[in-house]
Structure 1
């Protein structure tokens, strides 16, 4: 499986090295690191990686999570708690068929102290929570080991179908286009836009669009934008904002 493990802003070199070792244990070989706060090739990281030192050295570093996920078709975020406006995290086993059917899935892990923030989880189609006892705090490498096991080594029926979905780069471009169009037609405003777009993301991510479907949707948005511009040029119509007491995202 072409599985990528993405570490967002890790703080401790030893944790990065231990995460690489956990990946090698489970058969994952694509490590991606977003905006690290440490030297990921520090001697402590190399020492903790043990036989995964080569995997650690081949890790790619990205300035943003969006760039790290650009070529992925399914991204799975990890979280230990419920978030407002975001779908509840699921058990890893429930997500296993989705990941195994993907062409280029990614697992996303947050900083050691805080985990992923909401804007990170918004870029993931689904989130998972590792079931634990009352003490739910896992070391970064422990989390990587457990989730990689679920998706790479745990036994499961082979998915009956495979489907190549749009990359995150394509989906993020579509969401940016949708955001522009919502403002253009007065569907939302600056205050409500983030909440509204989250709801649209949640719905459209569940659809697991193909590249062609994302282009089809953007074609509709382009037609809306053209129609508004044409009407404005003719002086026949002007977009009006939504009524102040109405939330189009609800």
Structure 2
């Protein structure tokens, strides 16, 4: 399985090295680090990686999570908390079929002290919660080990029929286009745009669009803009014109 592990802003070199070792234990080899706050190749990291030192050295560094996920077709966030406007975390066993059907899945882990923030989780189609006792805080490397185990240990099972879905970069571009269109037609305003887009993300991410389907949707958005522009040239307000708080807004 072409599984990537993405660490967002890790703080401690030893945790990065231990995470690399956990990946090697479970058969994952694609380590991606977003905006690290430490020297992930220092002596402590290499020592904790043990035999995964080469995996650690081959890690790719990205300035943003969006860039780290650009070529992935499924991104799975990790969180132990419920978040407003975001889908609730699910048990790993329920997400495993999605991961196994994906051509290029990614597991995303947040900083040691805070975990993933809402803006990170917005870029993940699903969120997983590792089942624990009452004390749910796990070391970064422990979390990497457990989630990689859940998604990689079943590789010998017959693979289901796969469907190639759009990359995260294609989806993020589509969501940017959707937000522009929502502002254009007065569907939402600057204050409520983020909440509204989260609802649309949750709906459209469940569809697991293909690249062609994302282009089809963007073609529809381009037609909306063309229609609004034509109406403006002719001096005729479009029928859908309304205030930002108009009836088209959803809560």
Q: Report the TM-score range of the alignment, normalised by the length of the smaller protein.
A: over 0.9
Segments of 4+ in structure 1 off by > 6 A? none
Q: Is the 8 A contact 1:9 1:35 kept in 2?
A: yes
Partner SS for 2:208:
coil
CA distance in 1, matches of 2:226, 2:164: 30
Q: CA deviation at 1:160?
A: 2.7
Decide which moves more: 156-165 or 47-56. Answer: 156-165
Residues 124-173 of structure 1: CA deviation (Å, up to 9, x unaligned): 00000000011111000000000000000147853431000000000000
Q: In the TM superposition, what whole-angstrom CA distance separates every residue of 1:11-43 from its partner, at most 9, and x where no partner exists?
A: 000000000000000000000000000001011
Match of 1:109 in 2: 109
Residues 1-250 of structure 1 correspond to what in structure 2 (within 5 A)?
1-154=1-154, 157-237=157-237, 240-242=241-243, 244=245, 248-250=249-251
Number of equivalent positions: 250
CA distance in 2, matches of 1:196, 1:156: 41
Q: Secondary structure at the match of 1:5?
A: strand
Query: Could you list the per-position Cα deviations for residues 200-225 of structure 1 after superposition, in whole angstroms to 9, with x for gaps in the alignment?
Result: 00000000000000000000000000
Could you list the per-position Cα deviations for residues 162-208 of structure 1 after superposition, in whole angstroms to 9, with x for gaps in the alignment? 00000000000000000000000000000110000000000000000
User: Cα RMSD (Å) of the superposition?
Assistant: 1.4
Distance change (3 Å), C-alpha of 1:112 and 1:27: same
1:155–1:165 distance in 2 versus 1, CA, 3 Å: closer
Q: Is the 8 A contact 1:195 1:249 kept in 2?
A: no
> 2:187 touches 2:245 (CA, 8 Å); kept in 1?
no
Cα distance per residue 1:76-100 (max 9 Å; x no partner): 0000110000010100111001001
Counterpart-to-counterpart distance in 2, 1:244 and 1:10:
41
Describe the SS at the equivalent of 1:85: coil
Which stretch of structure 1 is more off in the superposition, 181-190 or 155-164? Answer: 155-164
Asked if 2 retains the 8 angstrom alpha-carbon contact of 1:189 and 1:241, the reply is no
- Checking the alignment, whether the CA contact within 8 Å between 2:41 and 2:56 is kept in structure 1 is yes
Structure 1 unaligned blocks of 5 or more: none
Query: 1:240: Cα distance to partner?
Result: 3.6
TM-score scaled by length of structure 2:
0.96
